[in-house]
């Protein structure tokens, strides 16, 4: 049985963002229970005891404390059910939470060589002693089974695949530690419980819904998909920035080339938006944008949402 918990559903900065007074952030401060979101990450498990994370958000410590499934087992002086972290990109949103896991418990970081090169180039990540925290490279379209800390099989198959995107924004105009060519900066994941065959897809960043991607996720039981912005020029129109969604590596929810239109009619059982920016009006339950997304079969999840497949 595959269990998935949404630890956080927001984009970088969370909702409310610490220095933002946009409509969504003001509403979240007024109604924290319904609207506040931490930064995007999910946890999954095939046995309910050993868990893997997809990305380690800057809010990870808060997310651990809010998620009983990830607490140390009763009576243990030091324990964690976390067996590993799979990174889909090298953005701050995805890697900063690793620094909250530096207290010596063994686990494995799984990432493409290009993302591992970013960690290696920044000495602050050396607080994760490689004697305890292994760094395991993963390839594109190469299935692997993440292991438990004692080396036992997890019963889970993971396949990373390339999606349209870009390298981390803080590397713009600089030499990439992992080189400038080849895939690896932005990955999607297919996670499968080997005993049941149940699976889900995770794509928290995606700049374009290609025909190849449509074919890959058609008929899926569950898809987590990039929901950063409602419209491509959203942040510009709101006066919050000068970049479009696509220039940041994120496809919009709406529009003829947006995620809602491009992923329609694919017989996906459950579609969930993640990495939702504070500027996105679909966060607001009474907004026309939320109603349009839900009418199209999409869910805007709260932190702590659990799905069992």
State whether residue 68 is helix, strand or coil. helix
pLDDT, tens digit (0-9, with 9 covering 90-100), for 208-231: 999 999 999 999 999 999 999 999
Question: What pLDDT is recorded for position 134?
Answer: 97
Give mean pLDDT, residues 27-56: 95
Q: Are 22 and 238 in contact (CB under 8 A)?
A: yes
Compute the distance between CA of residue 184 and CA of residue 110 in angstroms, rounded to an integer.
12
Average pLDDT over residues 92-111: 96
What is the model's pLDDT at position 98? 98
Please report, for residues 38, 248, 285, 297, the alpha-carbon distance to residue 301 in angstroms, rounded to integers and kept in the order given: 11, 23, 11, 13
Percentage of the chain with pLDDT > 70? 100
- In order, the DSSP letters of 228-269 are S-SSTTHHHHTTS-S--TGGGT---SSSTTSHHHHTTTS--S
pLDDT tens, 60-74? Answer: 999 999 999 999 999
Backbone angles phi, psi at 208, to 5 degrees: -160, 135
The answer on pLDDT for 169 being more than 90 is no
Tell me what percent of the residues of the chain surpass a pLDDT of 90. Answer: 91
DSSP 3-state assignment of 65?
helix
0.95 exceeded by pTM: yes
Summarize the confidence of residues 78-92 as an average pLDDT.
97
Beta-sheet pairing, 222-226 with 270-274? parallel
For residue 22, give the nearest of 169, 260, 170, 230 by alpha carbon.
230
Sheet of 107-111: strand order equals 133-137, 107-111, 82-86, 51-54, 41-45, 3-8, 306-308
For residue 182, pLDDT beyond 80? no
User: Residues 123-136: what's their mean pLDDT?
Assistant: 95
The secondary structure of residue 147, as a DSSP letter, is: B
Amino acid 180: pLDDT: 80
The secondary structure element, H or E, covering residue 113 is helix 113-121
Beta strands in 19-171 (DSSP E): 41-45, 51-54, 82-86, 107-111, 133-137, 156-162
Residue 31 has pLDDT above 90, yes or no: no
pLDDT in tens, 235-251: 999 888 888 899 999 99
- Give the pLDDT band of residue 34 (cuts 50, 70, 90): confident
d(CA 71, CA 261): 39
Q: What is the mean pLDDT of the chain?
A: 96
The answer to whether 291 touches 281, Cβ cutoff 8 Å, is: no
Alpha-carbon span 4 to 307, nearest angstrom? 5
Give 90's contacts (C-beta < 8 A, 6+ positions apart): 111, 114, 115, 118, 119, 167, 168, 171, 185
Whether residue 301 has pLDDT greater than 90: yes
């Amino acid at each position: 049985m595959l269990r998935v918990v949404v630890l956080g559903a927001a984009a970088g900065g969370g909702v409310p963002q610490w220095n933002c007074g946009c409509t969504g952030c003001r509403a979240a401060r007024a109604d924290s229970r319904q609207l506040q979101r931490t930064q995007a990450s999910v946890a999954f498990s095939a046995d309910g005891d050993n868990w893997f994370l997809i990305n380690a958000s800057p809010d990870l410590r808060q997310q651990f404390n809010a998620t009983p499934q990830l607490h140390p087992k009763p009576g243990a002086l030091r324990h964690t059910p976390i067996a590993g972290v799979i990174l889909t990109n090298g953005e701050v949103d995805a890697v900063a939470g690793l620094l909250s896991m530096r207290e010596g418990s063994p686990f494995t970081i799984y990432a493409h060589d290009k993302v591992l090169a970013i960690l290696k180039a920044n000495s602050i990540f050396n607080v994760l002693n490689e004697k305890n925290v292994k760094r395991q490279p993963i390839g594109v379209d190469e299935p692997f089974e993440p292991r438990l800390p004692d080396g036992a099989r997890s019963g889970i198959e993971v396949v990373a695949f390339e999606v349209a995107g870009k390298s981390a924004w803080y590397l713009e105009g600089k030499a990439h530690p992992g080189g400038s060519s080849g895939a690896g900066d932005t990955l999607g994941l297919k996670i499968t419980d080997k005993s049941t065959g149940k699976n889900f897809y995770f794509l928290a960043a995606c700049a374009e819904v290609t025909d190849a991607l449509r074919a890959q996720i058609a008929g899926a039981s569950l898809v987590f998909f990039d929901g950063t912005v409602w419209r491509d020029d959203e942040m510009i129109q709101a006066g919050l920035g000068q970049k479009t969604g696509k220039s940041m590596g994120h496809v919009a929810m709406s529009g003829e080339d947006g995620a809602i239109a491009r992923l329609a009619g694919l017989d996906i059982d459950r579609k969930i938006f993640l990495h939702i920016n504070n500027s996105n009006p679909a966060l607001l339950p009474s907004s026309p944008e939320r109603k349009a997304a839900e009418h199209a079969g999409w869910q805007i999840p709260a932190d702590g949402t659990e799905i069992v497949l």
